Chains A and B, each alone.
Chain A
Amino acid sequence: NAGVMQNPRHLVRRRGQEARLRCSPMKGHSHVYWYRQLPEEGLKFMVYLQKENIIDESGMPKERFSAEFPKEGPSILRIQQVVRGDSAAYFCASQSTWSSGSDTQYFGPGTRLTVL
């Protein structure tokens, strides 16, 4: 998966707890995308960040979900007060830069979130 790191690989939470998912992009990549793969469904875009900026969060639920990509450190996807419907695989993808026609994204191994 071309060097994109995600942790933890598996996360179990009880309803109402918080989940924090981390993503370290490939070296030299400053663009991070988060996608969610619900059981039996395809991957869906959630949010796109560059260092210290959220560029597009149109795919992210309005409540309980937030994302950041600080100047130093990994990108974090945070889910507050998790519910069973949040159980899914969450993937991070990184890209060195973006311009139309140059859109290759490299994916991490994902975090499998299970909400009990």
Chain B
Amino acid sequence: TQLLEQSPQFLSIQEGENLTVYCNSSSVFSSLQWYRQEPGEGPVLLVTVVTGGEVKKLKRLTFQFGDARKDSSLHITAAQPGDTGLYLCAGAAESSNTGKLIFGQGTTLQVKP
């Protein structure tokens, strides 16, 4: 069974702090996606990383794909209350021939003003 371990599961920080969320696996992924999900809504795509070692930036969010394409991280700089939400990583295993996504358990982030 392919797993994507996401940590931490819960994070409560003060506005202005930095944080990092990790996704790790023993499997190689052909791509990895980060989503944000609000209560009662579907996951909204933030970024897709494809190349090992790739770094993508989206304003205060920095996404990195590990060199071996087995892990990824999301770093948020100077978190704001508007960043509060559920963050999900999801990958398509390289061994898969259908592209189905394996999801991490999610990280619930609370940013207090």
Contacts and interface: CB of A to CB of B under 8 A. Distances in A.
A69 interface: no
A41 B9 CA distance: 11
A102 B31 contact: yes
Contacts, number: 77
A101 interface: yes
Interface residues of B, number: 25
A72 interface: no
A68 to B, nearest CB: 17
A42 interface: yes
Interface in B22-40: 30-31, 33, 35, 40
Contacts of B101: 33, 35, 43, 45, 93, 103, 105
Contacts of B79: none
A41 to B, nearest CB: 8
B23 to A, nearest CB: 12
A110 B98 contact: no
A105 B106 CA distance: 17
Interface in B1-60: 30-31, 33, 35, 40-45, 48, 50
6 contacts: A2-B44, A48-B100, A101-B50, A102-B31, A103-B99, A105-B101
Interface of B: 30-31, 33, 35, 40-45, 48, 50, 88, 90, 92, 94, 98-106
